[in-house]
Amino acid sequence: MVLVDIRETKSVKAADIFLQVRPGKDFELITILRAMIKDQPISETQIAETGLTMEQLQDFVSRMKAARFGVMFFGMGLSMTRGKHMNSAALLTLAAEMNAFTKFVAMPMRGHGNVTGADVIMRSQTGYPFGISFNRGYPRYNPGEFSTVDVLVRGDTDCAFIIGADPGATMPQPAIDHLARIPTIVLDPHVTHTSRLSRVHITTAPAGISAPGTAYRMDEIPLPLHPALESPYPSDEEVVRRINETLMKKPDWMGERPQILQTQI
Amino acid sequence: MEMKVIDHATCTFCGCVCDDIQLHADETRIHQAKKACVLGKAWFLNHTAERKYPDALIDGKEATVDEAIEAASEYLYQADMPLVYGMSNTTCEAQRQCVALADNLGALLDSHTSL
Ligand code: SF4
């Protein structure tokens, strides 16, 4: 196991090799690796910029090529620092290019329970995994434009529906300020930070503890939930379905419902 | 009190979604979560079937679920550019409803993945 990080974390103990990359140089490192696997010339100064040495990287590349099935796990340290989704895109390209030599895949490390499920469901229903806009009546995808932090920081949205998340505790302050300014609706088993700044909060049964359903594991295996308790609260599914039903009764602002995914629900 | 044992319960606290947890539960709480890690144990044991929070809040005041659903629908209906966000700590069934909601509203739809 090779660990790449900007500092020595607890995972270093579990790793065979630790590569300490200079903060903000992920994109450079990945691009250099992409060049090296194809034997393209790289100068010592370019490598020195990443905080690593030619020997370290040559060793790393030969190990990658010698592997029979390699997996690159990546987390928010890559996708939320300088370069953002360009870093993730570069890593995915590296994984794809490694397949010229051996089997390689890249997999995001997931913190929250069923984020993978959200990806899979949005992908199957809209064709895109996240950062989607339906405002033209059909799904469009553009992270950076339609991704939540950007939308909130710019103040583009005038109503927020938050389910199974607590952006009030995790997002940058300008985003939180905007959530407090607009009508925010929260569905959560707890009264969260976001609930406190919302106009409407609805308590729901926690998934997997008292609400049944399906959750996807990080490697996209769907697993059934086996709730152990009864809950006095309705499930998320029930509440969102009832909101949908209520909305369906209202006259549509476009004269005709723009919904195009009717057959899938 | 009678203890219920659930084999192969699924933990959704983190992305690993372990599906081999054995839960020992009575009516109101889970007493043991065997084979779960420290985080999973804490997650299972911290939830109860008690009514800890009000059913719903509108502008910080207690309300019924019906009133809250009505208020939420009205806010969403009135908005020009609503946003549907999150969907991590919930089930795929609820996520499908969220996609339908965003589609109906002509809304923005996004999850934790964009972070
Ligand atoms: S038991 Fe631990 S590792 Fe497994 S899903 Fe729960 S929190 Fe994650």
Judgement on whether residues A181 and A151 belong to the same structural domain of the protein: yes
CATH of the domain at A185: 3.40.50.740
Residues of B in contact with A261 (CB under 8 A): 99-100, 103
Q: What are B26-46's pLDDT values in tens digits?
A: 888 888 888 999 988 988 888
A77 touches chain B (CB under 8 A): no
- Residue ID of nearest Cα to ligand 1 atom 8: B14
Q: How confident is the model at residue A254 (pLDDT cuts 50, 70, 90)?
A: low
Average pLDDT over residues A170-197: 92
Last residue of a domain, one of A92, A108, A124: A108
CB contact under 8 A, B17 and A158: no
> Is residue A260, in this structure, part of any structural domain at all?
no
Rounded to whole angstroms, how far apart are CA atoms A186 and A203? 8
CATH of the domain at A82: 3.40.228.10
* Mean pLDDT taken over chain B: 89
> Is residue A263, in this structure, part of any structural domain at all?
no
- The pLDDT assigned to A170 comes to 83
CB contact under 8 A, A210 and B47: yes
Min Cα distance A86 → chain B (Å) is: 12
CB contact under 8 A, A203 and B54: yes
CB atoms within 10 A of CB A89: 15
Judgement on whether residues B74 and B108 belong to the same structural domain of the protein: yes
Question: Distance, CA A3 to ligand 1 centroid (Å)?
Answer: 22
- The pLDDT assigned to A265 comes to 46
Distance of CA A190 to the CA centre of its chain: 23
Average pLDDT over residues A139-145: 89
Last residue of a domain, one of A108, A125, A159: A108
**Nearest residue of chain B to residue A132 (CA atoms):** B109
The residue of B32, B66, B113 whose CB has the most chain A CBs within 10 angstroms, and thus the best one to mutate to test that interface, is B113
Total domains present in chain B: 2
Q: What are B53-64's pLDDT values in tens digits?
A: 999 999 989 999
Judgement on whether residues A96 and A192 belong to the same structural domain of the protein: no
Residues of B in contact with A244 (CB under 8 A): 97, 100-101, 104
Angle between helices A26-37 and A54-66 (to 10 degrees): 60
Judgement on whether residues A130 and A87 belong to the same structural domain of the protein: no
Judgement on whether residues B75 and B41 belong to the same structural domain of the protein: no
> Is residue B51, in this structure, part of any structural domain at all?
no
> Is residue B105, in this structure, part of any structural domain at all?
yes
B36 touches chain A (CB under 8 A): no
Judgement on whether residues A121 and A241 belong to the same structural domain of the protein: yes
Average pLDDT over residues B85-97: 91
Judgement on whether residues B103 and B63 belong to the same structural domain of the protein: yes
CA-based R_g, chain B, Å: 18
Q: Of the candidates A107, A92, A103, which has an alpha carbon nearest to the alpha carbon of residue A33? A: A92
Of the given ranges (A51-55, A60-64, B2-6), which has the lowest mean pLDDT?
A: B2-6
pTM score, whole prediction = 0.83
User: Counting atoms of ligand 1 from 1, which one is nearest the CA of B38?
Assistant: 2
- The pLDDT assigned to B115 comes to 61
List of E strands, B1-115: 4-9, 21-25, 30-34, 56-58, 61-63, 82-86, 108-111
Handedness of CA A154, A156, A161, A164 (dihedral sign): negative
- The pLDDT assigned to A263 comes to 52
The residue of A10, A112, A171, A214 whose CB has the most chain B CBs within 10 angstroms, and thus the best one to mutate to test that interface, is A112
Average pLDDT over residues A232-254: 87
Residues 92-151 of A with CB under 8 A from B: 108-122, 125-126, 129-137, 139, 143, 146-149, 151
Judgement on whether residues A182 and A56 belong to the same structural domain of the protein: no
CB contact under 8 A, B85 and A161: yes
Q: How confident is the model at residue A238 (pLDDT cuts 50, 70, 90)?
A: very high
The predicted complex's ipTM stands at 0.91
Residues 46-85 of B with CB under 8 A from A: 47-51, 53-60, 65, 68-73, 75-85
- The pLDDT assigned to A35 comes to 94
CB contact under 8 A, A160 and B87: no
- A48: helix, coil or strand? helix
Total domains present in chain A: 2
Give the pair of three-digit tokens for residue B112: 């934790």
Residue A45 has pLDDT above 80, yes or no: yes
- The pLDDT assigned to B92 comes to 93
Range of the domain at A147: 115-249
Q: What are A61-99's pLDDT values in tens digits?
A: 999 999 999 999 988 788 777 777 788 889 999 999 999
Q: Ligand 1 in contact with B49 (CB < 6 A)? A: no
The more confidently predicted of residues B114 and B41 is B41
Range of the domain at B41: 4-46
Q: Of the candidates B75, B100, B79, B86, which has an alpha carbon nearest to the alpha carbon of residue A139? A: B100
Q: How confident is the model at residue B2 (pLDDT cuts 50, 70, 90)?
A: confident
Residues of A in contact with B96 (CB under 8 A): 121, 125, 264-265
- A74: helix, coil or strand? strand
